[in-house]
Amino acid sequence: MMENEKLQVLLSKMTVKQKVAQLLQLNPFYFEADRNEEQITGPMTDLHVTEEEIGLVGSILGVPDAENARKIQNQHLTTDPNKIPLLFMIDAIHGYKTIYPIPLAMAGTFNPAIVEETASMSAYETSTQGHHVTFSPMVDLVRDARWGRVMEASGEDVYVNQEMARAFVRGYQGPANELHGNQEKIAACVKHFAGYGMVEGGREYNTVDLSRKELFQNHLPAYEAALDEGAKLVMSAFNLFEGVPVSANTYIFRDILRERLAFEGVTISDWGAVKELVYHGVTGGKEGAAELALKAGIDIEMMSSCYIEYLEVLVERGEIETAILDEAVLRILTLKNDLGLFENPYRGLDLENKELSEEHLDIARRAAEESFVLLKNDEQTLPLNTEAKVALVGPFAESDDLLGGWVIFGKRDETPVLATKFKETFTNATVVPTADHQTITDAEIAEAVAAAKLSDSVVLAVGETSDESGEASSRSNIQLAAAQQKLIKAVAEVNENITLVIFNGRPLELTGIEAYAKAILIAWFPGSEGANALTRVLSGKVAPSAKLTMSFPRAVGQVPIYYNQLPTGRPVDAADADAAFASSYLDVANTPLYPFGYGLSYGELTITDWSIANTQLQKDEAVSIEVTVANTGTTTTSDVVQLYMNDPIAAVSRPIKELKRFHKLTMAPQTTATITLTLLYKELGYYDSQTNYRIDAGELHFTVGFDSAHVSERKTLTVKEGS
C-alpha cells in the first residue's frame, strides 16, 4: 500500500485540470462500453465534457460487467498521464445478480447477522464485476409510506436503523475494513445525507423542513453507526436543510459530517445534485453551483458538470483556495489506495464468479424466508396442507416481478415465478393468473371464482409492481389496485379460506380488504429465491418470523404514522380526556392497522417474567434487563423480544415509546430461555433544542413485548445522576 506521503507527491504533480477531473463521476455512456437503459438511474442531460476530460475522469458509475470494466480501466490508464486508476461505483442495493429482499424487508428480519451475510454476498458479486463502491446502505429514517423509497430504508425506528446500517457496512466492507487485502469486499457509500426521508407529502425529490433537534435525535444516529463501522463514503441528499440544499450546506457537510462526526472519507453528490442547486434557487448558474458545493464539502460531483466546467477558473481566480480542491482530491486518492487500486487496477475481476450459484441462492432463500411478515392467521389457516386442493390466483401467481425496485443486473427472466415452485409442493394446486395487476377482466375474475369454488382454499397473490415503489415512485393512493380488490371480494364470496400473499415495496393501506382474508402474508419483493421461499413458508417447512419496521396505516390520511410519536397535550386516552377535544380523527382511529414490531409466527412465545437488575443507576453504570421467554406450544418458534423506553419528564417532549433493544429468539417446543439486554448509561439520554445531548437524573420507564402496541406493565429505573 502506498504511504500517505506518496499520495501527496502524486497530488503535487497533478495539474488543476487533472485534479478537477478526479472529482467528476460519469456513467458508461461517456465511454466505449456496452450499455443499456437499465444503467440510467437518473435524468440524462447533456454534460459539457471534452474527450480529454473523459480521459482524466476519476470515477464511473454503472458499468455493465467485468469485461467492460476491464476495457474501460485499460483505456483509462492510457489516457491519464498520472495513471490514476478509475474508481467504479454501482447501485447494488439488495444484491447484484443474486437478489435478496428489499432493505425494508431485510430490516424486518430483526436479524443483523443475515443482513450482514446478504450484504457480504452482494459485495462479492459486485467486486467480481469490477465495482469498488456500492451506493448502499440508505439509512434515511422514514415515516411516510407514500414515498416510494421507503423500500430502500430500514423503517421508522432509530435503533433498528442503526443496527441495520452497521450490518450492511460490515457485510460490504468486512468487519476489519481491510479493503486493500480483501478483493471480496467493497466500500460502502451511506446515503442520503441527511434528512431525505422526510420529503413533504412523501413526494420524491420534495422539500424537507427538519429541526436540528430532530436531525440529531432521529436522523443522524444511523449515519453515526455506519461511520463507526468504517463506511468509506457519504452521499449528499437532494433535499434542503434549513432552506439550504444539502449539497451546498456547510453546516451539514462541514460542521456535522467533518467536525462533529469526524468523517475523513469521500463525499459524493447524488445524481445531478450539484447542478440542481440552480433549480433550488440558491445560485444563478453552474459556476455558482460548483463553488457552493465544493466549499460545502462535496468531493465528487455525480453526473453533472459544474466542477469540470468551472472549478479550474474558480481556482485560478482565487475564488476557491487550492487547499479546498486538494483535500477533496486527496481523499479520493486515499480511497483508491485503500482499495489497493494502485497495485491492482483490475481488483476483483479475477475472483471466481458466484452469481446465482447454489451458495448464493441459499443465502437469498434464507433471507427471504426470514423477511415475510405474517399479519393475520385466523384459525391457523397457514401453513397450508400440501395435499389440499389450493387455487393460486392473481396477478403475482405467474409474475416474474419478484426482484424489487432497485435491481440493475438481476434478471426477471431468470427468476422462478411463484406458480412453478408452488405446484412442485402443492401437487393438487390449480393456478389462475391474471395478465395485469391493474386491469383484470371479468372473464379472469370468473375463472378465478370457478377455481376457488372447487378448492379447499385460495392463495391470492396480489400487490403493487416493483416499479410502483423505489426512486421516483411516490403514490398518493397506497391501496391495492381497485381491480385486485374486486378480485379478492369476488373470490371470498365463494371460498372463505383466503390467504393473501402481498408483494409490496411499502406499507399498504389494507383496511378495505383485510376482512376478506383469514391469513395475510407480506412478501415484499423477495428476490431471486422469492418463489421458493414463499412456497416453503406457505407449506410450513419454515415458519414466518419477521416483524414490521414501518407501521401499516388504516388510512393513507394517517400518514405519517409511526409508533415512536411524541405525546400530545390532548391524548385520547388521558383519564380526563374530553373526547370532543382530544387529538384524534373524526373518521378513523389514531392507531395503525398493523403496528411497528408486529408479525406473527405459526407458534407463539410468551414472556413469563422480566426484571431490571439494578433499578437505581449511577453515572456510567450499565442497566441489565432480564427477560424470560417460554415456548409452551408444539412447534419450534421464533420471535423478537422488544425493549421499549419512555422518558416521562425531560427538557423536551420525548416519544411515548422508543425501541432500545431487540433480541430474536428461536425456541424449541416446551422450552424456556432467559436473555439479558444491557443498556449503557450513555444510551439513556436525548438531544435538547440546542442539540446538546443530555441524560437527566430521574425516572425512566421500560416495557417489553413482541410488538410496539402490546407491551408489559412498565417497570421503573431511577437514574441517580445526570450529565
Q: Known catalytic residues?
A: 270
Residue 512 C-beta: closest distance to ligand GLC, Å = 32
* Residues contacting ligand GLC: total by CB under 6 A: 9
Per CB under 6 A, 42 contacts ligand GLC: yes
Apex 473 CA angle, 468 and 478, nearest 5: 60
Per CB under 6 A, 41 contacts ligand GLC: yes
**DSSP per residue, 230-283:** T--EEEEPSSEETTEEGGG-HIIIIIIIIIIS---SEEE--TTTTTHHHHHTSS
Per CB under 6 A, 275 contacts ligand GLC: no
Q: What character string, x for contact with ligand GLC (CB under 6 A) and - otherwise, covers 515-554?
A: ----------------------------------------
Dihedral sign for Cα atoms in the order 114, 115, 118, 123: negative
Per CB under 6 A, 229 contacts ligand GLC: no
Give 99's contacts (C-beta < 8 A, 6+ positions apart): 364, 403, 404, 407, 410, 415, 527, 528
Cβ nearer to ligand GLC, comparing 246 with 393: 246
Dihedral sign for Cα atoms in the order 25, 30, 35, 36: positive
Per CB under 6 A, 301 contacts ligand GLC: no
Cβ nearer to ligand GLC, comparing 401 with 471: 471
Rounded-to-integer distance, Cα 120 and Cα 182, Å: 12
The one-character DSSP state at 586 is S
Strands 390-394 and 301-302: unpaired
Residue 40 C-beta: closest distance to ligand GLC, Å = 9
Q: Which residue has the cell 442503526?
A: 162
Cβ nearer to ligand GLC, comparing 72 with 300: 300
Per CB under 6 A, 602 contacts ligand GLC: no
Cβ nearer to ligand GLC, comparing 136 with 637: 136
Q: Which of 241, 253, 271, 310 binds ligand GLC (CB under 6 A)?
A: 271
Residue 90 C-beta: closest distance to ligand GLC, Å = 8
Q: What character string, x for contact with ligand GLC (CB under 6 A) and - otherwise, covers 56-95?
A: -----x-----------------------------x----
Cβ nearer to ligand GLC, comparing 41 with 118: 41
Per CB under 6 A, 471 contacts ligand GLC: yes
Rounded-to-integer distance, Cα 312 and Cα 119, Å: 39
Residue 243 C-beta: closest distance to ligand GLC, Å = 21
Cβ nearer to ligand GLC, comparing 62 with 108: 62
CB atoms under 10 Å from CB of 569, counted, come to 8
Residue 94 C-beta: closest distance to ligand GLC, Å = 13
Dihedral sign for Cα atoms in the order 381, 450, 491, 500: positive
Rounded-to-integer distance, Cα 331 and Cα 312, Å: 19
Q: Are 236 and 253 in contact (CB under 8 A)?
A: yes
Binding residues among 169-208 for ligand GLC as defined by CB under 6 A: 191
Q: Are 460 and 418 in contact (CB under 8 A)?
A: no
Per CB under 6 A, 473 contacts ligand GLC: no
Angle, helices 530-538/418-425, rounded to nearest 10 degrees: 40
Q: Which of 270, 355, 369, 696 binds ligand GLC (CB under 6 A)?
A: 270
Cβ nearer to ligand GLC, comparing 302 with 459: 302
Q: Are 704 and 643 in contact (CB under 8 A)?
A: yes
Per CB under 6 A, 25 contacts ligand GLC: no
Binding residues among 397-456 for ligand GLC as defined by CB under 6 A: none
Q: Which of 88, 110, 135, 216 binds ligand GLC (CB under 6 A)?
A: 135
| H/E element, 49 | none
The C-alpha cell at 281 is 434557487
Cβ nearer to ligand GLC, comparing 159 with 238: 238
Residue 271 C-beta: closest distance to ligand GLC, Å = 4
Q: Which residue has the cell 506521503?
A: 5
Indicate the SS3 state at residue 460: strand
Residue 135 C-beta: closest distance to ligand GLC, Å = 3
Residue 39 C-beta: closest distance to ligand GLC, Å = 9
Residues lying near ligand GLC in the complex (CB under 6 A)? 41-42, 61, 91, 135, 191, 270-271, 471
